[in-house]
Amino acid sequence: MGTGTVQSSDRRATVSLFSRLRTARGQSDPFPVYEELRSRGRVAPAPWGGHLVMGFDLCDRLLRSREWAEPDQRWRARQGRSSRWNTPSVREMGHTLPALNPPEHTRVRRAAGSFDRGSIQQMSKGVTTTTIRLLDALAEQLRDGEADFNAVVSEELPVAVIGGWLGIPSADWPRLRELTHDQVFAQELLPSASQLALSDAATRELRAYFMDLVRERRARPGDDPVSRWIATWDAIEPDREKADAGVYYLALFVLLAALETTTSMLSMAVLALLDRPWWWDPLAADPELVPAFVEESLRWDPPTHVITRVATRDGELDGAAYRAGETVHLMVGAVGRDPERHRDAEQFDPHRSAPGHLAFSGGIHYCLGAPVARLEAQTLLRELVRRLPRLTLVRRPRWAPRIAFRRLLDLDVAPA
């Protein structure tokens, strides 16, 4: 058989594995598919160009290496006008933090600030109050039988935390949440034309909303992050329009980054617990175990399964040659179960000495909101096992047909 034939049959096999990922079965358990992909090597050609990277250490190294960059605006423009990288919503994302490279990235990341221990402590009381309110609402519904944990709790907590932090009126939260579900297709691995059209419409509405918000805060500054970002941007950017655009992209991306991912994290940690009911009592008896349980659930099945980078020069990765400008897709969902990294990778074990996951990426783009996401998940699990009787899963959840961004559509529970 000639090399061309081998490559084309390899390509067909990989295409078919990716089709399986989009089925209901592939969504509820993508890991057997990842296992098959891994059996082809830690670096395998992606059917649409570039490579898939399946090894933990390789992904970790790549995320920290200056030789790999984000697909930024210049790279996107080179992909041609008809490419998916040049649709309106994807172009808009090209201005946000995770699509910037240094030195622009350094400037914008500095302007964004960070969640230090003090600011997380400040947020903590509000997160606990909201969590208790949502668990009370869940308990109320459970009196009549079953309730959808995803809708009642996991969809509500992140928007209340980030919406409250940004000072967005609660009446706007449901619409913003819906828009983020549509917008995420611009960040998916292989979005369809109709998904990108949804994302374009959502992006237009989000742009109008956040540009208005920036104008309002400029007219009436308050004690909130958007007002602080305006002051920071005014100090580094003399052009007022560019400063406002900088604040808009920051506020937009923080909302997009914070909602769906955290919702998935909350439901997936709770699903991990429902599937292992023997953990309920130990977690209730010893809240110190909760952070390790949360980290293990991020290793087990993180909200983001794929991160993309672009080669800045020609080179070789684990024997596979690549050219400058080619993409790699880091399969960070799969690498949590990489047997070369984790002993008994297929065991859910919160007692691991080194949990080791790349759920929040790595290097200069390490997730800015990781401390907030952790605060929410830890508070939720702690209060859940303390306040509610043991719950049981009524039926296996349904998932949205995604590849990069996991999304549970429901999580129906009942008292055990």
- Interface residues with ligand HEM (CB under 6 A)? 97-98, 109, 162, 253-254, 257-258, 261-262, 265, 302-304, 307, 359-361, 365, 367-369, 372-373
Q: Which residue, chain included where needed, has tokens 């990277």? A: 53
Q: Coil, helix or strand for 316?
A: strand
- Kindly tell me which of 325 and 415 has the beta carbon lying closer to ligand HEM: 325
Shortest distance (Å) from residue 258 CB to ligand HEM: 4
The region, left, alpha or beta by phi > 0 then psi within -120 to 50, assigned to residue 46 is: beta
CB of 298 to ligand HEM, least distance (A): 7
The angle at the Cα of 373, spanning 371 to 379, to the nearest 5 degrees, equals 95
Choice between 322 and 360, CB closer to ligand HEM: 360
CB of 2 to ligand HEM, least distance (A): 38
* Minimum distance, C-beta of residue 180 to ligand HEM, in the bound complex (Å): 12
Q: Which two tokens stand for residue 123?
A: 């947020």
Q: Residue 303 CB, nearest distance to ligand HEM (Å)? A: 4
Instruction: Strands of 34-187 (E only): list them.
Output: 43-45, 51-53, 68-69, 147-148
Which residue minimizes CB distance to ligand HEM? Answer: 369
Decide whether 212 or 366 has the Cβ nearer to ligand HEM. 366
Q: Of the two residues 142 and 384, which places its CB atom closer to ligand HEM in the complex?
A: 384
Residue 49 structure tokens? 């160009």
Residue 414 CB, shortest distance to ligand HEM, in Å, is 26
Smallest gap from Cβ 235 to ligand HEM, in A, equals: 20
For residue 52, how many other CB atoms are within 10 A of its CB? 25
Q: Which CB, 44 or 404, lies closer to ligand HEM? A: 404
| Closer residue to ligand HEM (CB): 284 or 376 | 376
* 260/264 Cα distance (integer angstroms): 6
Q: Which residue from 407, 411, 396 is spatially nearest to 147, judged by alpha carbons?
A: 411
For residue 116, the one-letter residue type is: D
**Which is closer to ligand HEM, CB of 142 or CB of 381?**
381
Which residue, 162 or 284, is less far from ligand HEM as judged by CB? 162
Phi-psi bin for 50: left (phi > 0), alpha (psi -120 to 50), beta?
Answer: left
CB 336, CB 39: distance < 8 Å: no
Give the nearest distance from C-beta 157 to ligand HEM in angstroms. Answer: 11
108 vs 103: CA distance, rounded Å: 9
Q: At what angle do helices 173-183 and 156-166 cross, to 10 degrees?
A: 110
Structure tokens at 160: 């209340």
Minimal distance, residue 89 CB to ligand HEM, in Å: 17
Q: Which residue's CB is nearer to ligand HEM, number 209 or number 253?
A: 253
With 0-12 / 13-18 / 19 or more C-beta atoms within 10 angstroms meaning exposed / middle / buried, residue 222 is exposed
Cβ proximity to ligand HEM: between 177 and 365 the closer is 365
Two tokens, residue 415 = 């008292």
Residue type for 91, please? R
- 397 Cβ partners below 8 Å, 6+ apart? 28, 150, 267, 271, 408, 409, 410, 411, 412
> Smallest distance, Å, CB 191 to ligand HEM?
17
